[in-house]
Structure 1
Amino acid sequence: MLIREANTEDWPVIWPFFHKIVAAGETFTYPIDLGEEQGRDWWLLPAPNRTVVAVDDDAGTVLGTAKMNNNHMGNGSHIASASYMVDPAHSGQGVGRALCEYTVEWARAAGFRAMQFNAVVETNVHAVKLYRSIGFEVLGTLPEGFRHPSKGYVGLHIMHRAL
């Protein structure tokens, strides 16, 4: 698997699984009816932030994507954040782990002091387990901070890891 900088030519490949994940309404706080243009603008970040894709070494198939950015501006800009989407057709193959590890290394190399995830849906147990295995801790949970389409109101974790 290769992780490389994403570009606008990747968007038509990212959009179908991005749209499917967002429209499911189970893991992201994005509007479930998010349009393609706005989704592209929210996901493909300009420098100094970054968006990458994980691609299959053989065919160059996009397996997943991550965006990395400072979590806040000004005096809070020393804390990074990241978001991840793995094409469901390629889940369970280590793509999410590779992307997560990549973003941690990017943040460390870029001089960030820590990473924080602001809204990890507590029922997204695979993501929570992955993040914990890479050293993130749940700092707190916003009770009923997320309206899950089948589980009702569930918590949103704030997760943190020092770099």
Structure 2
Amino acid sequence: MNIRPATKQDYDSIWEIFSIVIQSGDTYAFDPETPKADLEKYWFGNSIQTFVAEGDGKILGTYILKPNQPGLGGHVANCGYMVHPDTRGKGVGSQLCLHSLEKAKQQGYRGMQFNFVVSTNEKAVKLWQKHGFTIIGTTPKGFRHRQLGFVDTYIMYRNL
């Protein structure tokens, strides 16, 4: 597996992953009916660096790296990760996380914060904890899960 900066040629592959992931309505706040045109602002917008993991001639997953906040909060990174459903459970998410931590350190970020981790996404919570993140806050009923209704979200943080 190779992780590299995304190019415009990766757009359709990233859209495929993005659209599948948000369709379930159980891990991301994006509207499941988000149009393809919106991918530009969510995954390729200003101050967003986009990366892809590729293997076997296809895109296996993607992540974005950006400042968590502008200006005086810009020393803390924020990331979002998505893995193609066909490659889940094969370590792609873990490799994307490790890559993002290294990139963030190289760029001088002092910490990384995830603002919105759905509490029922137990695999993601455990993965982030495995990589040194801790839950520093909870938003009660912060997410409208498509199957479970309102569930909590976590804010997770790790020093770099």
- TM interval, short-chain normalised: over 0.9
- Measured after TM superposition, the shift of residue 19 of structure 1 is 0.5
What corresponds to 1:70 in structure 2?
67
Runs of 4+ displaced beyond 2 Å? none
Instruction: Work out whether residues 117 and 159 of structure 1, in 8 Å CA contact, stay in contact via their aligned partners in 2.
Output: yes
What corresponds to 2:13 in structure 1?
13
Instruction: Work out whether residues 45 and 67 of structure 1, in 8 Å CA contact, stay in contact via their aligned partners in 2.
Output: no
- Measured after TM superposition, the shift of residue 11 of structure 1 is 1.1
- Select the residue among 143, 147, 153 that pairs with 1:146: 143
Instruction: Work out whether residues 55 and 62 of structure 1, in 8 Å CA contact, stay in contact via their aligned partners in 2.
Output: yes
- Measured after TM superposition, the shift of residue 60 of structure 1 is 2.4
- Select the residue among 95, 109, 117 that pairs with 1:120: 117
SS at match of 1:34: coil
Instruction: Work out whether residues 121 and 156 of structure 1, in 8 Å CA contact, stay in contact via their aligned partners in 2.
Output: yes
Instruction: Work out whether residues 114 and 160 of structure 1, in 8 Å CA contact, stay in contact via their aligned partners in 2.
Output: yes
SS at match of 1:51: strand
TM-score by length of 1: 0.95
Amino acid at match of 1:12: D
- Measured after TM superposition, the shift of residue 125 of structure 1 is 0.5
Count of residues paired in the alignment: 160
Unaligned runs of 5+ in 1: none
SS at match of 2:34: coil
- Measured after TM superposition, the shift of residue 30 of structure 1 is 1.0
Unaligned runs of 5+ in 2: none
What corresponds to 2:23 in structure 1?
23
What corresponds to 1:136 in structure 2?
133
What corresponds to 2:97 in structure 1?
100
- Measured after TM superposition, the shift of residue 42 of structure 1 is 1.1
- Measured after TM superposition, the shift of residue 32 of structure 1 is 1.6
Identical residues among aligned pairs (%): 40
**CA distance in 2: counterparts of 1:159 and 1:125, whole angstroms:** 13
Please list the CA deviations of residues 58-109 of structure 1 after superposition, one character each: whole Å capped at 9, or x if unmatched: x321000000000000111100000000000110110000000111111111
SS at match of 2:16: helix
Could you say what the CA RMSD is over the residues aligned between the two structures, in angstroms?
A: 1.1
SS at match of 1:16: helix
**CA distance in 2: counterparts of 1:121 and 1:18, whole angstroms:** 17
